[in-house]
Structure 1
């Protein structure tokens, strides 16, 4: 891990381990001056700490001591550092995992994402998690922010906001190296939207390395029983209704699958992510017994009415006005929230396959017709 990543890691860990008594002391003038001139190691704090503690302890059943210890090195003789896993997103976010891989940390570099989650989505998110314990919205266990102005945040050398969330890939590291290569991940969004980086001028607006991260395609089907599909579709209906009501778009279905026959290196069952167990988090076995599937909803931080979304809408209209290529429909980040939800659920229906009563594959759930009076 490079110096920049190590300093960012230190900032995050200080915020996690800082006690309430230390937090209650307001920083003096000298401390504020030093904080302003910080380039990489920003002074971070936990946002609405008690609210997130309630989520962890009461709603998801995560023990506080176990959660905190996840951020420590398993060896007391080694320095405690988060594990940097680089830039995994098109947005430029940086990612870390805790030393035990149970939790994933993602930076939110865009101001509109930070304010949308903090001011508009957080309270409905907490209410939804309380009433829907099997929700597939990713579990966000902490939100870290920089409460004071700093040079590093202003010039973008270090992120000022981070979310801590469950790592749906937890358990992969317990497998042998050869078995780890058999884990597959897919970040799925409706593919019929317009993506300028992919669709304008023959896709020459971005290098292949960027376009490869833009949108995934699942080359197979999720083959499960009727009950599993009904549960999945019903839960996603509830979860995406919350996102639609918040005017969120561009979220994705994060799908993990690995062969059902593999186990951890110690020949025990592959451990599941932390918190209360639910089938699509611990893993649903495919109908043919070949795969284990895990699913969560990710990246629900883009509001349809954000200034950036409005600017991109005008950009698409300009493309169409000057006839740059064919006419371009809405982008995933500029479409309406109800339209995005409809296409998203249609995408899910298309990749989940069940069998009909005759044992033939079917992409749709066929409910018995209602009797007429």
Structure 2
């Protein structure tokens, strides 16, 4: 871990372990002297837990995460070893940086874009909590803490260090318990409807982004998720309920994070690969494919972009101008500039087409019956 990451890690851990109950008020501000001293912080920012009591309630009561177990996830398993988070690096197009807790149960994601964390705090948090309380099998990623810097700092202003961090479940929990060879067999897909216009991907000549950025802009799953009819109905109905509250909050550009690993890893590495923390659900813990080959996990990620945010409105205008000047025709909306109801329909349609179930005759849905029987060995 580099010097910058270590200081950011220290800031996060200090907020987790040292936040006082009096700091639970988001409107509270440190004294003048503290604000002056904090202003000159560059990497090691003074963070606090945003609405700590609320997040503790949904951790304990809604998701069944014990507080002592949660806190221990942030400590080193060895008493003789310095406690540090594990830096994962830059995993997203947004420029977010990631850490995991030492036991890999939780993922800490930075929120470098102010409009994203503002949207979550001011508009989505309360509907999110209410939805989670009423839908304990929700596949929206479980956000267990939100850390924020309560004062202006040079580090946050210059972008040297993030002022907000989100702690969430790690849907890949259990991967690290496998051997290194078997870890390489885990596959992850960050899936969005790919029929939208993506300037970074679709503009010829690489004018807007290099190939390294385009490669991680949007994933493609060139296979089918083969499960039973009941399992598909459970997935689609739950995603429909989850995406409904995102639509009502005018959120777009969220993605389905799909994980799969070979089912035989369960017997080859251990009796049971551990599941993500808290109260379980089938698609969160793992659904075995019909042929017994794969285990699938799925959640919804990155629901922090509001359609009516200034950034989305600005990009909508730029895309329209770009289409007019460059080609003189409409190349369609971007995923971040479309309407929330249209995005939801395309998102659910993507999942519907991706999941394959057998029809009443036992064939995979979409399979065409052969007009004449084939003899053994005939191609």
CA gap of 1:337–1:27, structure 2 versus 1, over 3 A, is: closer
Task: Name the CA distance, whole Å, in 2 between partners of 1:349 and 1:188.
Answer: 13
Out of 352, 355, 359, the residue aligned to residue 355 of structure 2 is 352
Q: How far does residue 42 in structure 1 lie from its aligned partner after superposition? A: 0.4
Q: Which residue of 1 aligns with 2:18?
A: 18
Describe the superposition over 1:70-114 as per-residue Cα deviations: whole angstroms up to 9, x where unpaired. 000000101100000100010000100000000000011111101
Q: Which residue of 1 aligns with 2:160?
A: 157
Out of 315, 320, 323, the residue aligned to residue 317 of structure 1 is 320
Quick check: 2:143–2:168 contact (8 Å CA) kept in 1?
yes
Structure 2 SS opposite 1:141: strand
Name which of structure 1's ranges 325-334 and 107-116 shifts more when overlaid on structure 2.
325-334
Task: Name the CA distance, whole Å, in 1 between partners of 2:181 and 2:266.
Answer: 11
Structure 2 SS opposite 1:8: helix
TM-score, with length taken from structure 1: 0.94
Quick check: 1:15–1:144 contact (8 Å CA) kept in 2?
yes
- Does 2:66 correspond to 1:63? yes
CA gap of 1:26–1:357, structure 2 versus 1, over 3 A, is: closer
Task: Name the CA distance, whole Å, in 1 between partners of 2:267 and 2:121.
Answer: 38
Equivalent positions of 1:48-87 (< 5 A) are 48-87=51-90
State the aligned residue count.
Answer: 364
Out of 107, 112, 131, the residue aligned to residue 104 of structure 1 is 107
Alignment RMSD (CA, Å)? 1.7
Q: How far does residue 320 in structure 1 lie from its aligned partner after superposition? A: 1.6
CA gap of 1:161–1:277, structure 2 versus 1, over 3 A, is: same
TM-score, with length taken from structure 2: 0.93
Out of 259, 262, 266, the residue aligned to residue 259 of structure 1 is 262
CA gap of 1:265–1:101, structure 2 versus 1, over 3 A, is: farther
Q: How far does residue 304 in structure 1 lie from its aligned partner after superposition? A: 0.2
Unaligned runs of 5+ in 2: 368-379
Q: Which residue of 2 aligns with 1:7?
A: 7
Name which of structure 1's ranges 189-198 and 20-29 shifts more when overlaid on structure 2.
20-29
Q: Which residue of 1 aligns with 2:190?
A: 187
Describe the superposition over 1:183-207 as per-residue Cα deviations: whole angstroms up to 9, x where unpaired. 0000000000000011113444211
Name which of structure 1's ranges 76-85 and 195-204 shifts more when overlaid on structure 2.
195-204
CA gap of 1:217–1:21, structure 2 versus 1, over 3 A, is: closer
Quick check: 2:86–2:102 contact (8 Å CA) kept in 1?
yes
Structure 2 SS opposite 1:362: coil
Q: How far does residue 326 in structure 1 lie from its aligned partner after superposition? A: 5.7
Q: Which residue of 2 aligns with 1:289?
A: 292
Out of 241, 245, 250, the residue aligned to residue 244 of structure 2 is 241
